[in-house]
Amino acid sequence: MKDLRGKALLDDSALTKSTAFSREERDRHGLRGLLPYDVADIGKQKKRALENMRRKNTNIEKYIFLTALLDRNQRLFYRTMIDHMDEIMPLVYTPTVGEACKEFAHIFRRPQGLYITPEDRGDIASLLENWPETDIRIIVVTDGERILGLGDLGANGMGIPIGKIALYVACAGIHPAHCIPIMLDVGTNNVPLREDPLYLGYPFPRLTGNAYFSLTEEFVSAIQSRFPNALIQFEDFLAPNAFHLLERYQKQVRCFNDDIQGTAAVTLAGIYTSCRITRKKFSDLTIMFLGTGSAASGIAELVFNAFRSAGLCEQAARKKIWFIDRKGLVVSTSENIKPRIKSYAHEYTHEPLSFHDAIADIKPDVLIGATGVAGTFNESIVRQMAKVNEHPVIIALSNPTSHTECTAEEAYKWSDGRVVFASGSPFAAVQYGGKIFHPAQGNNAYIFPGIGLGIQASAARLVSQTMFLAAAEVLANNVSEREIAMGAIYPPLTQIREVSLAIAVAVCHVAFSEGLTDTNLPDDLDTYVASLMYEPNY
């Protein structure tokens, strides 16, 4: 414990116990008289926190309350979140974090993390020296240009790294002192946002081109120098920049892009699990994507690798993946095909088909939406999927909830209760045809915290694609028969720390087998990794 006493100790969010300080501790640390009489343990404090949170009438008010709780008492916040994960995660992250980002400048209380602007060019290394901790293991960084499905939110996008850090701590036990959320505030092209008198960000148009990439180069270099053990998670960058940064650094430093690779792994896990419901063999599936952005193309790449691992040749694996864009089915004769999906633009003897007709002709087993556009899986589309499949698998990834391709209720209703459904945002249970369905949430929190824990445990020099394949398999294997019977293709959020531990162990094995670490792994790897996990207790 730092040598803090009295009010300074009470005000330190990482060290305070508030009313849980014992009488002996109150005497020893100069706290006598600064606290009410009762010694309230963390359980009683948690009960009080939940009672106060539940008094709030809206989710954004609950978000503000939880943010203030974290600012006051770090251990109490995380203890409460871990013990009530299914209730609090949707408030700390999706879907509430979308609203929190839009309102970020208006609900701002105290700064968290680091902000880097073009005016810091040449000084980023010295700027990092201002951060009080030196043993940093996890960095989540965004430039705010493509926040969820909401677009360019500039510095308001800082809510995303802050939220993801909370998930690293709660879901995988990364110690809070080892984490930093970072905003690369390079401006915004959102003119109303720039003109908002309360906006806190760099109030200029976005930096682009060489000026942008030279700044990111300086940033990555400075991180490597100041925090050599850090894993960098790129988050919510616009697709071209996201791919450029990933390709530029993934073979040089510990880094990954959660929108590309984390989303891919959680989606692949859902596809694996769906096969237990549909009774289809994974290697026999045909998969169709609506949307051609970073998430969709990232999923396609991992699914392709999974098909190859399942024994398919390259040509056969690619032929099982199809894309739909605004003009319909993407084929070899389509115009302006994005480079990332060109290898999935197959030769086709007919004219490019509409979305509906493509489903009728291609007969995909799995339909994945990554568009950010609400309602694109309309009744006609869902019914067509149900026509060509006894149990159509529909995964509507876009979030927040207002941007989802279809709701859970719509999917069950339009498929006559036969759909295997998952979404990027949470939906409540749906009653249809006398049966209660529990729709699954394809939440990246099932994947990235375990990846981070595994990288920390193994001291892997790089993050490989094989790690995400392994993570997807682990996640799928953690879905019980009980969840399968309820139509869920992911385990409950209450088990997420166990899932993260299992993924971390798998990542360690991959790091060792691929020669990405010089660390000798202990015989009892599960126990070792578990020993690294932060438990927020007094």
H-state helical runs in 33-95: 42-55, 59-72, 74-83, 85-92
Residue 284: name the closest of 314, 315, 317, 309 by CA: 317
Alpha-carbon distance of 81 to 519, in angstroms, equals: 33
Q: Could you tell me if 157 and 236 are in contact, meaning their C-beta atoms sit under 8 angstroms apart?
A: yes
Residue 294: name the closest of 269, 271, 264 by CA: 264
Handedness of CA 282, 288, 294, 295 (dihedral sign): negative
Residue 229: name the closest of 525, 504, 513, 517 by CA: 517
DSSP-derived pairing of the beta strands 366-369 and 440-441: unpaired
- The secondary structure of the chain in percent helix, strand, coil, rounded to multiples of 5, reads 50, 10, 40
For the question of residue 251 being annotated catalytic, the response is no
Alpha-carbon distance of 16 to 19, in angstroms, equals: 9
Alpha-carbon distance of 47 to 270, in angstroms, equals: 35
Instruction: Using alpha carbons, list the distances in angstroms from residue 311 to 268, 283, 516.
Output: 16, 8, 25
Q: How far apart are the first and last CA of the chain?
A: 12
List beta partners, residue 431.
Answer: 436
For the question of residue 93 being annotated catalytic, the response is yes
Of these residues, 62, 102, 164, 320, which one is catalytic? Answer: 164
DSSP 127: H
Q: Which amino acid is at 46?
A: K
Count Cα atoms within 13 angstroms, Cβ side, for 278: 27
Residue 206: name the closest of 136, 155, 246, 141 by CA: 155
Alpha-carbon distance of 131 to 92, in angstroms, equals: 24
Of these residues, 17, 62, 63, 93, which one is catalytic? Answer: 93
Alpha-carbon distance of 438 to 435, in angstroms, equals: 10
Helix (H, G, I), strand (E, B) or coil at 394: strand
DSSP 94: T
Residue 298: name the closest of 340, 326, 235 by CA: 340
Q: Indicate which residues carry an active-site annotation.
A: 93, 164
